[in-house]
Amino acid sequence: MVGMSGKRGNGEGSIYPYRNGFAAYAWVDTPDGKRKRKYVYGKSRAEVHEKWVKLHGEASRGPVATRHRTVAGFLDYWLTSVVKPNLAPLTYVAYEGAARLYIAPHLGAKRLDKLTVRDAREWLTKLADTCQCCAQRKDAKRRPERQRCCAIGECCEQYPSGRVVQIARDTLRAALSQAVVEEEISRNVAKLVRVPKPRRRKIKAWSVEEASRFLEHAATADDPLYAAWVLALTLGLRRGEILGLTWESIDFDAGQLYIDHQLQRAGSEVLHRETKTEDSETFLPLPELCLGALRKRLGQQEQDRQKAGDLWQDGHGLIFTTRYGTPIEPGNLTRAFSVRIRQAGLRGIPLRNTRHTTGSLLVAMKVHPKVAQRILRHSKFTMTFDVYSEASDEEIRDALQRLSNRFGGPP
């Protein structure tokens, strides 16, 4: 404390009157390797002294930031300097969209070091109750004759799903984790806020009969994507893996397929890039059904090439292309699958569910789980075990019937 002479007490350092209170500073090492003054402020000398002691403690443990960015400022830096150069393009697109649409409008103006758990919790609560058509002015961007809700004062209540809220929280958590690593903040408040885990609606996989009917219909219709459907259902290839296959990926003599590339849309670009992990890169033996379908596809593509003439574009040597040799849009493959299902008169499933169908068929054929893991290219056996642990309706019905018989029920 200050005596009658007005001098500072021992240990109070550079505390001095400032505006309507007091201020103090300490010399600190910054994250960029420079040495600068860091200031603290308060209404009373005791408050400033407490902050000053805390500041000295932080400085003794490592670098201390002297200027704090806003949440929006740090998100821009994180996306540009950390995410884009180091992570997959689709990851960048997902993070950038969540930051721009859901985080920055609510939290962007807040100082990064002042962000609290309460701020994060209130933001998520508000986000779940905010119509995104209104917030993003979707209706206002339409032509006047097509405006139908927010722009004419009739909110369409387009609230974000639980999955969207979870993605927004996960994006903020990832950004703040980087801020902790770079020592701009001391803790990640987004980690301390829980959000309900959205329940995914389970879709029953196709049976062997349904899958066979679908492939038979596609073959009879001379569908240029017949080989794609065969690979999806028999080998469990993902959409991007199917579209990323080149003729160099196929060894017809050895009867093998090598999966090392995928085709993906990332924002405004369609990218032909390597598969995400080395576990995804593997040789798979091709059954005769697949080899026959691929030979048929080779003939179809040659016919397309001849018809297109000078308009043919031979890009990456892709197996599945448009009639002019250009890559197929991933979304168009999904739509083509849905159209083929309707034409075949079958129960609809998403294209991504074909992997689950493959797993279910492997279970039905009693293929050993380790062999199934190789076919489905699961990096962890637990993923394959999850597929094998899902009993079919027939197995459940048989088990219940045997239980009924055990207790004396009718055979």
Residues with Cβ within 8 Å of 185's Cβ and at least 6 positions away in sequence, in order, are 112, 113, 115, 176, 179
Overall size of the chain counted in residues = 411
State phi, psi for 369 to the nearest 5 degrees.
-55, -35
Task: Give the tens place of pLDDT for each residue, 105-126.
Answer: 999 999 998 899 999 999 999 9
User: What are the start-end ranges of the E strands in 187-287?
Assistant: 250-251, 256-259, 261-266, 269-274, 282-285
- Report pLDDT for 398: 59
Q: Are residues 265 and 315 in the same domain?
A: yes
The string of pLDDT tens digits covering residues 126-142 is: 999 988 888 888 878 88
Q: How confident is the model at residue 411 (pLDDT cuts 50, 70, 90)?
A: very low
User: Are residues 121 and 106 part of one domain?
Assistant: yes
* Nearest residue to 363 (alpha-carbon basis) of 390, 330, 324: 390
Q: How many CA atoms lie within 13 A of 334 on its CB side?
A: 13
Angstrom distances, CA of residue 95 to CA of 67, 193, 199, 329, 396: 25, 19, 22, 22, 42
Q: How confident is the model at residue 7 (pLDDT cuts 50, 70, 90)?
A: very low
State whether 128 and 106 are in the same domain. yes
What pLDDT, on a 0 to 100 scale, did the predictor assign at position 11? 42
Residue at 126 is within a domain: yes
Residues 85 and 55 in one domain: no
Residue 102 to residue 266: CA distance in whole angstroms: 19
167 shares its domain with 265: no
Q: Is 237 in the same domain as 296?
A: yes
User: Where does the pLDDT of residue 59 fall: very low under 50, low under 70, confident under 90, or very high at 90 and above?
Assistant: confident
For the record, the structure tokens of 11 come out as 């240990």
Pairing between β-strand 282-285 and β-strand 269-274 as defined by DSSP bridges: unpaired
Q: What is the pLDDT of residue 6?
A: 42
Q: Which of 14, 48, 66 is the last residue of a domain?
A: 66
Q: Are residues 278 and 172 in the same domain?
A: no
Instruction: Say if residue 81 is in the same domain as residue 54.
Output: no
Tell me: do 112 and 162 sit in the same domain. Answer: yes
The answer to whether residues 212 and 347 belong to one domain is: yes
CATH number, domain containing residue 279? 1.10.443.10
Assess if residue 394 is contained within a domain.
no
Q: Are residues 220 and 164 in the same domain?
A: no
Which of 351, 372, 405 lies at the terminal end of a domain, its last residue?
Answer: 351
Number of compact structural domains in the chain: 3
> For residue 2, what pLDDT is reported?
43
pLDDT of residue 185: 84
| Residue 28 forms part of a structural domain | yes
Domain boundary among 51, 66, 81: 66
Query: Looking at the whole model, is its pTM more than 0.75?
Result: no
Same domain as 271, residue 169:
no
Q: What is the CATH number of the domain that holds 163?
A: 1.10.150.130
> How much is the average pLDDT of 344-364?
82
What confidence tens digit (pLDDT) does each residue in 220-234 have? 999 999 999 999 988
Give the pLDDT of residue 389: 55
CA distances from 79 to 40, 191, 283 (A): 30, 19, 35
User: Residue 3 has what pLDDT?
Assistant: 41
Within a domain: 359 = no
CB 213, CB 346: distance < 8 Å: yes
Name the token pair of 392: 């079919």
Inside any domain, residue 393: no
Average pLDDT over the chain reads 81
3-state secondary structure of 186: coil
> Is 222 contained in some domain?
yes
Domain that holds residue 289: 208-351
Q: Convert the pLDDT of each residue in 282-318 to its tens digit.
A: 678 888 888 899 999 999 999 999 998 989 987 678 9
What is the pLDDT, as a whole number, of residue 144? Answer: 83
Q: Which percentage of the chain shows pLDDT scores above 70?
A: 79
